[in-house]
Amino acid sequence: MVYDEPSMAEKKMPRRAFLKKAAAGVAASSVFGPVYAQTRKRVRWRMATSWPQSLDTIFGTAKAIADRVKTLTDGRFEIEVFPGGEVVPALEVFQEVQKGRVEIGHTASYYYLNLHPAFAFGSALPFGLTARQQNAWFYDGGGQDLLNAELYAAYNVVAFPAGNTAAQMGGWFRRPVDSLADMRGLRMRIPGLGGEVMGRLGVKTVVISGGEVFSALQKGQIDATEFVGPYDDEKLGFYKVAPYYYYPGWWEPGTTTHAFVNLAAWRRLPKDFQVALEAAAHEANERMLAAYDAKNPAALERLLSYGVKLRPFPKEAMRVAYREAFSLYEELAAKDATYRKIYEHWIHARTQLFRWFGTNELAYADFTFPAI
Ligand code: CA
């Protein structure tokens, strides 16, 4: 909804003074580039999300975007934020943005693999990029522009990275899974291509939203679940019904969430509102990552104090999963031109990034991180 309304200050300001001020706004520039003339419009949007309200990390990030946009536009661009399932189903946020029923959504691209397998590249792929590598590819390597042009535009949507969970944990299991044989036949909640790869290891996979996982696990409808990491997982209470906590989440080494915006609504936005929204999303991308990195260590300590059993995934299972993941990527690339185009861009970036991170970052981490 967009409408013109003079601000209180303008109502009080003599017309000549206002015109002078407006003209100065158009002409002005600073060391940071041109200063956009401030629009007189007011805009109200609705943002659907896929997140339970209890998660201050990820739902809090969606709220932070709205708050920042409001501040940056002097209160003239307001976005009302809804938890998962409140105005639209938690896992249909993208489609509702596409239809324009809500102007903006905060969700994870890989929830929408049913629309196209290339949606995985917006969030995470098994054995893919870490948070920093995602950002390198999205912002500096042309990855986000590529996704917008080749994928999301076909759905009348434009996307901005707006949150990262860092490397996720492997999730909660009712029983130990110390071999591939232990994993066969398990029913597990896991989204994205990680779910496809788990399927190839014999796991029966389902995708349900974060808010519904605990009750499915408690009722025994599933044997295992993953969500994000210690801080969120503690809040959702999975440790109460599935005490074995595995790592790493090899299917989500640095998952990105996005602000998805209906393209027609985006084009109707005044330029300075577009700049405010893009800046707020960029800031959210950084802040969510910082929040997870800062909060997860203490949360893991608490979980261990409750008796949670922390275990690494069996290497054998990870090796088979790695092989299956890349067979899957090649199969998808052979079947679909859009997927192939994005995959080739991504795999090139991944090769370069892994070579660099595998040299300097790895040497530092390998020497320093292990608890001595
Ligand atoms: Ca996850």
**pLDDT value, residue 13:** 45
% pLDDT > 90, the chain: 85
Q: Is 263 or 30 the better-scoring residue by pLDDT?
A: 263
Q: Considering the domain boundaries, does residue 321 fall inside one? A: no
Name the region of 136 (left: φ>0; alpha: ψ -120 to 50; beta: rest). Answer: alpha
**pLDDT value, residue 24:** 42
Q: Considering the domain boundaries, does residue 282 fall inside one? A: yes
Q: Is 343 or 25 the better-scoring residue by pLDDT?
A: 343
Contact (Cβ atoms closer than 8 angstroms) between residue 60 and residue 118: no
- Mean pLDDT across 148-163: 98
**pLDDT value, residue 31:** 56
Distance 245 CA to ligand 1 centre (A): 13
Distance 28 CA to ligand 1 centre (A): 46
Total of domains in the chain: 1
State which residues form the domain around 49.
2-17+35-164+255-293
Q: Considering the domain boundaries, does residue 358 fall inside one? A: no
Using alpha carbons only, what angle is made at residue 35 by residues 34 and 37, rounded to the nearest 5 degrees?
A: 125
Contact (Cβ atoms closer than 8 angstroms) between residue 76 and residue 62: no
Distance 227 CA to ligand 1 centre (A): 4
Q: Considering the domain boundaries, does residue 199 fall inside one? A: no
Distance 366 CA to ligand 1 centre (A): 25
Tell me the sheet residues that pair with 174: none
* CATH assignment of the domain containing 266: 3.40.190.170
Q: Considering the domain boundaries, does residue 330 fall inside one? A: no
| pLDDT reading at 61 higher than 50 | yes
Give me the helices (H) in 219-314, please: 230-236, 263-268, 271-305
Distance 107 CA to ligand 1 centre (A): 12
**pLDDT value, residue 26:** 43
| pLDDT reading at 300 higher than 70 | yes
**83: cis peptide before it, omega within 30°?**
no
Closest CA relative to residue 168, chosen from 85, 76, 233: 233
E strand or H helix that includes residue 357: none
Q: Considering the domain boundaries, does residue 272 fall inside one? A: yes
d(CA 234, CA 237): 5
% pLDDT > 70, the chain: 89
Strand residues in the chain grouped as ranges (E): 2-4, 29-30, 33-34, 41-49, 77-82, 104-107, 157-164, 171-173, 187-189, 204-206, 224-225, 244-247, 256-262, 309-312
| pLDDT reading at 173 higher than 50 | yes
Distance 226 CA to ligand 1 centre (A): 5
d(CA 216, CA 369): 36
Distance 21 CA to ligand 1 centre (A): 50
Mean model confidence pLDDT for the chain:
91
Place of tokens 């190839």: 200
| pLDDT reading at 161 higher than 50 | yes
Distance 168 CA to ligand 1 centre (A): 6
pTM for this structure?
Answer: 0.88
Distance 249 CA to ligand 1 centre (A): 8
Q: Considering the domain boundaries, does residue 341 fall inside one? A: no
Distance 234 CA to ligand 1 centre (A): 14
Structure tokens at 219: 């009722």
**pLDDT value, residue 372:** 54
Q: Considering the domain boundaries, does residue 336 fall inside one? A: no
- Mean pLDDT across 333-359: 98
